[in-house]
A and B are shown apart, each in its own frame.
Chain A
Amino acid sequence: MTRRTPFTWLAVLLAFGLFAAACNGDDDDTVTGPDAVDDAQPDDPAEGQGDTDIEEVDGDVQRGGTLVVGLEAETTGVRPWEDTCGSPCMNIMVALYDKLFEKEADGDIGPWVAEGIEANDDLTEWTLTLREGVVFHDGTPLTAQNIEAMFELQQTGAAASGVVTATGLEGVRAEDDLTVVYTLSAPNAGFPDALTRPQLGIVFHAEAASGDPDGFNANPIGTGPFSLVSWDRDNEMVLDRNPDYWATDPDGEQLPYLDQLIFRPIPDEGTRLDSLLAGTVNVMQSLRQSTIRDARAAGDQIFLYEHQGSNTGSTIFNTEVPPVDDVRVRRGLALSINQDVLIDILGGAGISERATQYFGPDSPWYSQEAADAWGHNDMDAARASLQEYVDDPERSDGLPVGSPIQVEYQCPPDPSLIAIAQGYQEFYEATGLVEVSLVQFEQAAHIQRVVGDEHMAVCWRLGAEEDPSGWLNTLMGPPETSPQNFTNFFDEDLWALLTEAKETADFEERQRLYSEAMVLINEWVPHTYTGYTATLLASQPNVRGLGQGTWNLPNGEEGIGFPTAEGRYAQVWLAPED
């Protein structure tokens, strides 16, 4: 009898490992077509779409297949009233759930599972009509009573309660099976926008959620195009097609086209892109400019869908703290910076546009007047403004006339943020009138210091995709009643404009008012801007239905697209690969 040496055993193990690793290695994992017949869930991440029968729906669109989406982070949970939902999470939410309303490409509010909404004369009562025939994943119909019951959770939910307060929502009642009345404490023209957002807009099965709020994460019940099959946290979430979904495409074909949708959190930006290039995922999202740059370099291997968001990097000033309590200092600092250089530091040159306000150029609220009112990199004007303060015997920091202005600039110790803080320091000090000390606090401490008013000048993010009536009024409201006013800036004229805009129904009039408000903000400089946040959805070439104009509302209007890389997958389909 021959005894095997340890080396022999190791060789056997190695051979086994290599053999096992090579198993399926030659499969046509990414090939779609009528010949792909396995109906099972892909058993490993290398297997993307094409594992289910593909059926031609009309001339072009193919039904079936599995789409794997790489997200930048795992979602905390899928309870709309409780879990804070960022961009990765929203990809999941709109697959599992429907919202009451959706936004059209021009920013207007359009119908979704609610067909319409009307306000009373003073905008304090909003009556909504639900679509008939919408059913939850468990087969129960969507009713107004469900919307009323949702409010009980939304009032106290960690995610929704803030929006309930901000919108002034006091009560929700069902008039009949399809009619819901929302009662507000004060006029709010922007209220319908809140019904396009996850906290109040997403429709969930209220009875199931109330019965077991924690368990709802494992068994969420919505009316969305897909329903949850399994969720292996930090690994993958598998969703199956909802066969009873109410929505159809413009040709009347039932959505969704895909049989299965899988979300995988891939936190590392580089390997998420590699995963797309390797075919491990079919679609990926990113909110990083450097990733967009790398994705562009991949050429025609992948399709890119970019968006300039209404969100910008910035420096916010605590206007209660000398010397930045003086507008001459803030204006001088603002005029000293070259935003293009700062954008370049962040790797966004050619990707991110220079910001002049909260609203991006794709936003319906974008104001040309505000853009014109925003000065840029005028060093002479910067010095003049700062010199006026330096020479003022009554200067707010109490230092002697002629003393340099002392600015403490705070930013987290992330490499790119360190670089941007140094960029600001260089521009400020280039005036010859300012001395900057950089301080670093880890992200959580960074936020805490701002919330606790312990800051002077801080790197921050500003803006949002939602209707300004919610967040802008909070951002610029009276500091004593607006905890989100981190600049502590308050101006009566500005507040009057914001209040009027909130109480005005006419969209164009609201645009005008917000434009005036934005001009005022730019004149008072409670903060400065760098560049708009560019976002990206990227896909393999055979993924169709992700581009602008590919998803429409039931009224035939084009949907808003995919701001902040929030993909919609009901209308996505997989073309056979060449």
Chain B
Amino acid sequence: MRPFIINRLLRLFATMLAVSFITFFMVNLLPGDPALSVLPPDSISEENIARVRADLGLDDPLPVRYVNWIGGVVTGDLGRSYRTNEPVMDSIRARIPVTFQLAAFAIVFALMLAIPLGTISAYKQGKRADKMISSTVQVMLSVPVFVAAVFLIYLFAVQLQWLPATGWTRLTNSVPGNLRTVFLPALSLSLVEIAIYTRLVRADMISTLQENFVLSARAKGLTNSFVLFRHALRPSSLSLITVVGLNIGTLLGGTVVVERIFALPGLGGLLIDSIGQRDLLVVQGVVLFIAVVYVVVNTLVDLVYAAVDPRIRVTGKGA
């Protein structure tokens, strides 16, 4: 196991270095001068733009700027926002709980619904319940997240007035308030995940239910629910673990739209605003952070995978 872990960690480091390099140069290829977002409209002139560029160090060659930036990154200093002068790390730190909680709730919602739905669908394969679940899942897959979000706001906030339409209450301020503000965004975000996970569980479960050990368990007279959830679910969940792992990273990046619609102070909103305002250091910082989380989570998934299935560890050794 140890060589496997070392191998994965080396890959992780190389990937993060590559990500930082690509992120930096891609962001700096964006058209438009960041100085324009710093200057007020009535101060925009070539002279002032030149002054601001010099102040921000934008006149240095790109490789020099990259080395300066990555040197700071290594020490945890991602620079300061061109617009607000706030340390980028502070901005990210303030937004991490929102995005992480949103993604976590979306995954929890998805798993809470997808596992039973997928299992029932597999157990009732070809019957009415299976068809209903499959059709519903198909609809959920085809509804874009922003449409779902707008619909949920209209229903639960505008019409029923059960939940707030927008905004965020921090967990530290009020637990019920926090749950009320996270519910609709997380639900919007989870709809597609529910559909994907349900299909995945269903497909794997159908295959597992044909295994000898399941037939044997049934022959012993165990209840259907016991057989399904105690015997069949675990071997049917390997694909699910992989996809959930991959989706964590995707969800962190995918919260952008939901955060925008629900006016949540998360990483997605920060990223969008920063792109629009050419706040390059913030863009670089957020993109790098999301990329690192994505890579780390997937490395962890690899490790979990190896722990669950020793055959992967053996294969990975030689990889």
Contacts and interface: CB of A to CB of B under 8 A. Distances in A.
Interface residues of B, number: 76
A297 interface: no
Contacts, number: 206
B95 to A, nearest CB: 8
Contacts of A279: 161
A272 B166 contact: yes
Interface stretch (A117-125, A335-343, A401-409, A446-454): A446-454
B124 to A, nearest CB: 15
A145 to B, nearest CB: 27
A346 to B, nearest CB: 20
Contacts of A293: none
A275 B166 contact: yes
Given A7-B115, A484-B45, A44 B167 contact: yes
Contact of B31 (A47, A265, A278, A445): A445
Contacts of A452: 46
A6 B166 CA distance: 33
Given A24-B180, A280-B166, A483 B44 contact: yes
B178 A44 contact: yes
A283 to B, nearest CB: 14
B32 A268 contact: no
Given A25-B163, A45-B169, A280 B157 contact: yes
Contact of B176 (A44, A77, A233, A451): A44
B297 interface: no
Interface in A165-204: 166
A437 interface: no
A444 B278 contact: yes
A13 interface: yes
Interface stretch (B137-145, B258-266, B304-312): B258-266
B164 A24 contact: no
Nearest to B80: A214
A208 B223 CA distance: 73
A5 B130 CA distance: 22
Given A25-B163, A45-B164, A451-B44, A271 B265 contact: no
A14 B162 CA distance: 17
Contacts of B42: 162-163, 166, 470-471, 474, 484
B165 A280 contact: yes
B84 to A, nearest CB: 6
A271 B179 contact: no
A452 B48 CA distance: 12
5 contacts: A43-B173, A45-B169, A77-B84, A232-B170, A278-B153
Given A13-B112, A272-B166, A448-B31, 20 more contacts: A7-B229, A17-B108, A20-B176, A21-B183, A23-B179, A43-B176, A44-B178, A45-B168, A217-B84, A264-B263, A267-B263, A268-B263, A274-B166, A275-B164, A278-B153, A278-B158, A445-B32, A447-B32, A451-B36, A483-B46
Interface of B: 30-34, 36-49, 83-86, 91, 94-95, 105, 108-109, 111-113, 115-116, 119, 150, 153-154, 157-158, 161-170, 173-181, 183, 225-226, 229-230, 233, 260-265, 269-270, 273, 276, 278
The 10 A-B pairs of least Cβ separation, nearest first, read A444-B32, A45-B167, A483-B45, A44-B177, A162-B43, A43-B174, A46-B164, A445-B31, A20-B179, A234-B265
Interface of A: 5-7, 10-11, 13-14, 17, 20-25, 43-47, 70, 74, 76-77, 84, 158-159, 161-163, 166, 214, 217, 232-236, 264-268, 270-272, 274-275, 277-281, 441-448, 451-452, 470-471, 474, 483-484
